[in-house]
Amino acid sequence: MSDQQAGGQDRTAATETTDGGIEELSGDREYRQGAVDLLGILAYGELTAFERLAEDGRLAPSLADKVHMATLASQQIEHFGRVKDRLATFGVDVMVAMQPFHVPFNTFHDYTKPKDWLEGLVKAFVGDGFANDFYREVAAFVDPETRTLVHEVLSDESHADYVVQKVRNAIDADRKVAGRLALWGRRLVGEALSQAQRVAAERDALTSLLTGTVDRPGMDLAAISRMFSRLVETHTQRMAKLGLQA
Amino acid sequence: MSDQQAGGQDRTAATETTDGGIEELSGDREYRQGAVDLLGILAYGELTAFERLAEDGRLAPSLADKVHMATLASQQIEHFGRVKDRLATFGVDVMVAMQPFHVPFNTFHDYTKPKDWLEGLVKAFVGDGFANDFYREVAAFVDPETRTLVHEVLSDESHADYVVQKVRNAIDADRKVAGRLALWGRRLVGEALSQAQRVAAERDALTSLLTGTVDRPGMDLAAISRMFSRLVETHTQRMAKLGLQA
């Protein structure tokens, strides 16, 4: 966690004097575009998560499970609204900000359609967990208000206990389930990384948030590699919580 | 509107002295069960509306339409939460309260699956509009707090302008659409009435909210018939707004 997080915080201290950190960003178009990209990813991610949770809810084994999924789905839209409002303060329409991320998200979801209720739960927990960790890493490099918003919309962990319990119960009832879901978890992360690479290649502004520019510090290659280690480590812990091998 | 609405309000005036009108209701078990039934219908109605709006959103012709449908869907869950909380003050679990209404709602939705995006919009506007008018009529006979809640969760008319505009545009583009959607609107109300009859036959407590009991005034047959006239009249106006013949 230490070095590059600290780097992010140093930068923050320097910008927090102005109002919400937007003013001075207009002087750095690429920087601003990076923040807009992060918000655009979040917005489209929330929207596709809504659709997926609503659809997975149809597979729910009980009405209580259905209510749980519907509640989670509607939280995504509440978050979507907040991200949209933040984008508006940057003068950017949420529809425009989301546009570059349609293809990677849609491809990810097309390649990772859950075959049943349990796969849907694991996808929501493991897939979103991995993605959210990454968004938090990127958020260390944007203005304080955007960073706070990102952390707030990602902080809702109410789903975790629910998924952990359901998946563990299913494994207890049938040990074979563990092997199948472990494979599924690996595939989810593989597909997520492959789409993340696509985004990184296409969105220079987003990438340079992480890597920095001449007059703004970012991560060097070693730091980026450490970030990936952190992501993988947290992913492994998350799988372990479910009783699955990463 | 006049007579039985006034009747409802007279009763209200008599009960509003106590705290939220729950205390004195416990003396009238059937009366209380009627209110619980109304809330149970609303809760299950919101839940199925969520599912339907989320599913219809998948047919949306644009991402902006999709966002609109997702926002509406998530409002249903917000309303569901409020109805659930109100039921809890009656000491009733929302799952239990919804139980008697699974079959009529599921049957209604099975018989009225929209074939396309426009049919989905008309269903949300005309079908829900009709149902909501009926719920408001029943709400005239429950305790003031429940009545206020019912009116609040039903008051969201933000959908109306959106649907009216989309349907009118579609009719302008192709006149044949009007005939097809007019038939669809009639079918929706027919199926809704048929399920409402089923509920009325099975839920005495709900029915007697409307008809009253020995020591509590309700509607006589003439008043009930006038209520249906009102429902049909408002339905006709709603269809006319869409440019459709009821």
- Tell me what pLDDT residue A227 has: 87
Inter-CA distances, B35 with B2, B5, B67, B144, B214, Å = 22, 17, 34, 11, 18
- For residue A57, the chain B residue with the least C-alpha distance is B51
**Cα-flanking dihedrals φ and ψ of residue B58, to 5°?**
-70, -20
3-state secondary structure of B124: helix
- ipTM of predicted complex: 0.75
Q: Which pLDDT tens digits describe chain A residue by residue (246 residues)?
A: 344 444 444 443 333 334 444 444 444 777 788 899 999 999 999 999 999 999 989 889 999 999 999 999 999 999 999 999 999 999 999 999 999 999 999 999 999 999 999 999 999 899 889 989 999 999 998 999 999 999 999 876 667 888 999 999 999 999 999 999 999 999 999 998 888 888 888 888 888 888 887 777 788 888 888 888 899 999 999 999 999 988
Burial of B26 (0-12, 13-18, 19+ CB in 10 A): exposed
With beta carbons less than 8 A apart as the criterion, state whether B43 and B35 touch: no
pLDDT score of B157: 64
Which residues in chain B are closer than 8 Å to A68, comparing Cβ atoms? none
Give the count of beta carbons closer than 10 Å to the beta carbon of residue B31.
22
Residues whose CB is less than 8 angstroms from the CB of residue A173 and which lie 6 or more positions away in sequence, other chains included: none
Chain A closest-CA separation from residue B117 CA (Å): 16
Predicted local confidence at residue A67, as pLDDT: 94
Q: Which residue has the tokens 């991320």?
A: A101
Do the Cβ atoms of B70 and A80 come within 8 Å? Answer: yes
Rg (CA), chain A: 18
Q: Are B123 and B183 in contact (CB under 8 A)?
A: no
Residue owning tokens 């199948």: A180
Q: CA dihedral defined by B225, B127, A69, A109, rounded to 10 degrees? A: 170
pLDDT of residue A23: 45
Give the minimum alpha-carbon distance from B47 to chain A in angstroms, rounded to a whole number.
7
Q: CB distance A70–B58 less than 8 Å?
A: no
- Do A166 and A118 contact (CB within 8 A), yes or no? yes
Closest Cβ opposite residue A70 in set B50, B94, B95:
B50
Query: Within an 8 Å CB–CB cutoff, is residue B76 touching chain A?
Result: yes
Which whole-number Å values give the CA distances from A209 to A9, A30, A134, in the listed order? 14, 8, 13
The residue of B46, B47, B50 whose CB has the most chain A CBs within 10 angstroms, and thus the best one to mutate to test that interface, is B50
In the prediction, which pLDDT does A11 show?
A: 41
pLDDT computed for residue B224 by the predictor:
83
Taking an 8 Å cut-off on Cβ atoms, the answer to whether A67 and B58 are in contact is: no
Q: Are A75 and A162 in contact (CB under 8 A)?
A: no
**Which pair of structure tokens corresponds to residue A2?**
């230490």
CA distance B65 to A183: 36
Instruction: Report mean pLDDT in 10-residue bins for chain B, 246 residues.
Output: 41 40 55 91 94 90 93 93 96 96 93 93 90 91 92 80 92 94 93 87 84 78 86 93 91
Nearest Cα of chain B lies from the Cα of A113 at a distance, in angstroms, of 15
| Nearest-angstrom CA–CA distance, B2 and B8 | 10
What is the pLDDT, as a whole number, of residue A155? 78
The residue of chain A with its CA nearest to that of B67 is A47
Q: At CA B152, angle to CA B150 and CA B155, rounded to 5?
A: 105
Instruction: Look at residue B160 in the predicted model and tell me its pLDDT.
Output: 84
pLDDT at B215: 73
Q: Which two tokens stand for residue A6?
A: 């600290």
Tell me whether residues A55 and B51 touch, CB distance under 8 A. Answer: no
Query: Residue B18 in contact with residue B81, Cβ under 8 Å?
Result: no
Measured between alpha carbons, how far is residue A77 from residues A18, A204, B45, B49, B111 in Å?
30, 28, 20, 16, 29
* Residue (of A52, A74, A56, A78) closest to A65 by Cα position: A56
